Amino acid sequence: MKRASTISRRKFLGGAAALGAWGLAGCAGISTGGSGAGRLPERGEFVIRNAYVMTMERAVGDLPNADVHVRNGQIVGVGASLAAPGAQMLDGRGMIVLPGLVETHWHMWNTLLRSMAGDRKEHGYFPTARTLGEAYTPDDNYQGTRLSAAEAINSGITTVHDWSHNIRSPEYAEADLRALRESGIRARFSYGAAQGQSTEAPINTSDIERLQRNWKTYSNEGLLTLGLAWRGVSTSATGAISGAVWRKDLDAARTMGIPVSVHAANARARAGTIEVFAKEKVLGKDLQVIHAIWVTPAEIRALAESGTAVSLSPYTELRIGFGLPKTGEFLAAGVPVGLSVDTTTLSGNADMFAIMKAIQNVENVRHEDEFRLPARRVLELGTLEGARSMGLAAQVGSLRAGKRADLIMVNTRDVNLGVFSDPSHMLVEAAQPANVDTVVVDGRILKRGGRLTAIDVGQVVNEASAALTALRKRANWW
């Protein structure tokens, strides 16, 4: 089965190359059947000419009139007047070219429940995600993740961390992975428990081991990696996890050598969790802690000393009332920091420009200081530092020869971006997903001229809408 689909994909790509079809512009809907990634554009060779290039490499900085040359998924040159004979030319005039935005924690399955956290307690985020999550089919997982991936690419996000915490059977994991694979996005897929799963029931580690054994068939040529979405020692939805269970889940991931991610100290009631992690030897370079809002200086030091990364999602933290992210304290201590969407059930959308703006504004108001968190530093969190926090900085997060080609072009001629002033301030304060003209992931052009090239947005939205209607009927949730 898998072998056959690989061959047919090669044939397809060969056919596309013969036609010289750059990205099959806007016509190829992602199929919902079969094993998947048959319709991604070929990688090819192109050069972006005469753009304002923000390399996000501190030693290089910005190149105001430069080119970026990409071949077979890799950046092969960044600089002025590059020789690139035979390469397709993309006009970079009026464009800022920068690394693709890196997202670090997102429950992609529940974009099917976009903006559904209501105004009454029984319709809050946690009961909504749990009740509807328990009624999900594998296809609902597929629909939610596919809609998320489409939105990510449209918004200039080239890497996501798919925190999949509603895996009710292996089919749910398969459906989620298929959506990622078909979209062409770069992702860590973190395998989690199901919504409503007993705190006495360990995660399905044998299924994670099965995926790891066969990862070559899932990884989409290295674009996807595997991790554990760990429940930790307690969760907001279910309370304490028994010691034997959390340890079993964690030990399984560490034996497999896959990275671990966990929500912790998000609410006042869960303060002290990082101290417990430190005591129990949970912290480490393979761990990402999400939110970590209710932390002491000693706990921040423990995170820094152990090399533990944090992921901050200002819009959900604000919207649900968790508290204000401690961005500056983490950065001052040397903790790797990434930014995240978390869930569009609460945040509404996946606008990383807005997320950067929120993280800057919250930090400045906490210190009553206009200059506390500079725009350039925030942009690093959304690109290279976010990649570093995910262990991906050697591959992506900045523009230099040798790295994988994940980049975006932002049109500064749009009405909300003219005039050209300070580019990092423009991106953090003024830019929106609508300004993202072009998105490249691993050398594939997935958005061009403001349109997705490999995803039929109408089809994706129609199918997701039908899935939500059926889901609400099954769950009797209105």
For Zn ion, which stretch binds (CB under 5 A), given 20-28, 75-83, 338-346, 401-409? 338-346
State the Rg of the chain over Cα. 21
Give which of 471, 476, 475, 458 is closest to 109, Cα–Cα. 471
Q: How far is the CB of 232 from Zn ion (least distance, A)?
A: 12
Minimum CB–partner distance for residue 107 and Zn ion (Å): 6
- The helix/strand/coil state of 306 is helix
Residue nearest to Zn ion (CB): 342
Closer residue to Zn ion, CB minimum distance, 342 or 351? 342
Residues numbered 398-457 forming contacts with Zn ion, rule: CB under 5 A: none
Which of the ranges 272-280, 341-349, 399-407, 465-473 carries the binding residues for Zn ion, by CB under 5 A? 341-349
Residue 96's SS3 state is strand
Nearest to 97 by CA among 476, 472, 439, 404: 439
Shortest separation between residue 473's beta carbon and Zn ion, angstroms = 27
Q: Where are the beta strands (DSSP E) in 72-156?
A: 74-79, 88-91, 95-99, 101-102
Query: In the complex, what is the shortest distance from the CB of residue 163 to Zn ion, in angstroms, rounded to a whole number?
Result: 6
Shorter beta-carbon distance to Zn ion: residue 106 or 172: 106
Our CB check for Zn ion shows the closer of 165 and 388 to be: 165
Give the interface segment with Zn ion, choosing from 6-14, 145-153, 337-345, 426-434 (CB under 5 A).
Answer: 337-345
In the complex with Zn ion, the residue whose CB is nearer, 342 or 442, is: 342
| Residue closer to Zn ion, measured from CB, 52 or 315 | 315
Cβ at position 365, least distance to Zn ion in Å: 23
Nearer CB in complex with Zn ion: 69/105: 105
The single residue among 176, 342, 406, 437 that binds Zn ion, judged by CB under 5 A, is: 342
Burial of 464 (0-12, 13-18, 19+ CB in 10 A): buried
Piece of 187-195, 335-343, 441-449, 450-458 that binds Zn ion (CB under 5 A): 335-343
- The answer to whether residues 116 and 133 touch, using CB atoms and an 8 Å cutoff, is no
- Beta strands, E only, 11-136: 45-54, 62-71, 74-79, 88-91, 95-99, 101-102
Specify the DSSP class assigned to residue 440.
E
C-alpha span between 288 and 286 (Å, rounded): 7
Do 44 and 443 contact (CB within 8 A), yes or no? yes
Binding site for Zn ion (CB under 5 A): 342
